[in-house]
Structure 1
Amino acid sequence: MSQTIVVKIGTSSLTTPDSGMLALSTIASLVEVLSQLRAQGNQVVLVSSGAVGVGCARLGLVERPKSMAKKQAVAAVGQGRLMRIYDDFFTALQQPIAQVLLTRGDLIQRNRYINVLHTFQELLKLDVIPIVNENDTVSVDELKFGDNDTLSALVASVVDADWLFLLTDVDRLYSADPRSNPNAQPITIVKNLDELAEVQTGSSGTQWGTGGMVTKIQAARIATGAGVRTVITQGRTPQNLSKILSGELIGTQFEPQPRPFNARQRWIAHGLVPTGQIYLDEGAVRAIRSSGRSLLAAGIVQIEGAFESQEAVKLCDRTGQEIARGIVNYSHDELEKIRGRQSDEIPEILGYAGEETVVHRDNLVLS
């Protein structure tokens, strides 16, 4: 049966730890495996890190740059080199590829999100393997994905993937960092991410990468919430992908949550960046959780953040636990005036006829 598979490979797997030079044997193995999966009828997307690392090696830099401007310049040098390598390897196997560079803003605006979705759909119909990276040369801090683990999870959500593979420099998730703790226990299956509260996730794996195990767990939360089975496994052995797809328990697998989302709901849940929080009383929480109702002003007890109408917000209970997120019909200032009040009072309070709902149920997704 044809499946949609997103594979993310990190800088730590693509490059040698000491020099940051490309690990060509790993890339060759990965290209061979992905081409085989495509030939078997699967739809394949590759999210590849490495542009900054390759740029550093090309320019003779001994450490990853700290400033945004220098990082962007180095990424511009590395991205072309990285794609040249991929194109050479994939062409040898007669597999067409495409470069897709994204910023966070491409997923925040609804029309751009739809354009991204349609581009992926057309590329996959053409039997192309899209190679995705963050557009580091134009990204700004406020609109960065932060790391390619997050980017890959969001791409998996956009394309409605069946699998997300996070290829890294360890073979699976452990209860602690196995490089420094000999008593670390392997974790094979994760049914609920809350089980990992006590796991020591450590920091980024190498000086050349930006991610670490904590970002992979965050990515797994996004992907599994969108119904995507997620796997953390060793990047140096891409052959494991086929074995895992055949049913072998290699790496750490995160079981997907039920997939209730349509494309618009996935956009609200994962594409948008919340700019505020709205705290609700117990009645409003119950109405949203159990009945899927819209949020009314009467159920709001507190508001945080400077947001405008039609921006995304988190809906939380009194303790701050997020229960849902959605697109709000009022700005922060307007909500401060009408919170706790009945809908029929809103026109008199604001001086104009506003919306009955603060967040309509069609623009609301449970967390």
Structure 2
Amino acid sequence: MTVEAWTLLPSLPKVASRDAVAAEQEGWTGVMLADSQNLAAELVVEMAMCAARTSRIRVSPGVTNSVTRHPAVLAGAMATLQAESSGRISVDIGRGDSSLAHLGFAPMGVKPFQRYVTTLRAYLRGEEVDFDPGFMPSGVRPLHTIDLGKAPGMSRLGWLRGDQPAVPVNVAATGPKMIAFGAVAADGVSLSVGADPARIAAAISAAREAREAAGLDPESLVVGAYLNVAVHDDLATAAQITSGKLASFTRFSVMHGSVTGFATEADRAELARFGGTYDMTAHGRADAQHTQGLSLEFMSRNAVIGDSKTVLERLWELRGLGVSRFILTEDFSRTGVAGESHRQLVEEVLPELLRWS
């Protein structure tokens, strides 16, 4: 299966598209932008700017959510970008995190999320979709309560061309229910369970079992993994570079009050301690107090850190387990030690990674 290398970019005006141009020159397969309206610029606008300023690289939310946009609105936006970019768009979607926290809400429940993704994919295929009041805010009346000569009986993207490539949808998942759903009902699953090979292997095994139970080929599943990466000869320095982003992704394993995501016994106690200390007002920041709650030993297993040789060996091991879509998350800074880490990643790791197809 073709190996893809994606990089997560800061979603800021003028910055995201500038970095997308640089990422295309560096050789990345694709770029991802966070969808978090209070912490980042508007996703669709920045995706459009990235696509407009590049010609080859793919563009995706990393990740969008199932709450802040009606599935028809999200599908319409992504399908439009797909048409304008000549087929370079994909979607990673999850239940919501910082985007909802800054509106005062917790992530969407698993079953409503599953309904959302199923509906989203139907819209993206140009299919007719039943009206679903569950996707609308309270206080909006059903259409049949007003007088019309003739009203639509179903919903669909009527402008969508039949020959346009469908937008791939990948479910960003940590827990077993989400992993199993994504493996069966989406184009791929993007694991957010850290970088420990034991956790990755358990998650992939669960995904393949779900596909087999559904009568699907388990080997055809596209498996992605969000991996926090820093390249530096000194392990402690590498850990510090990636600490802010790693803390954000680590929280997904304990955000609902109990440890999930196939955590190893070695990690369960540390994850349980970490869960209640996370400061959402310092989301993703390396200087956040909650980063101090992660030991170097934990970070060395759950992030991909070390010198370039070590990083390549770690990624190769995950490739052997079945990961083909590597979503490498770095510190957004391109200065100081973070800048040197990025340079080594691009020059010494990325070219080899892309040869593993």
TM-score, structure 2 normalization: 0.31
Normalized per residue, which structure has more helix?
A: 2
Normalized per residue, which structure has more strand?
A: 1
Q: Which has the higher contact order (CA 8 A, sep 6+)?
A: 2
TM-score, structure 1 normalization: 0.30
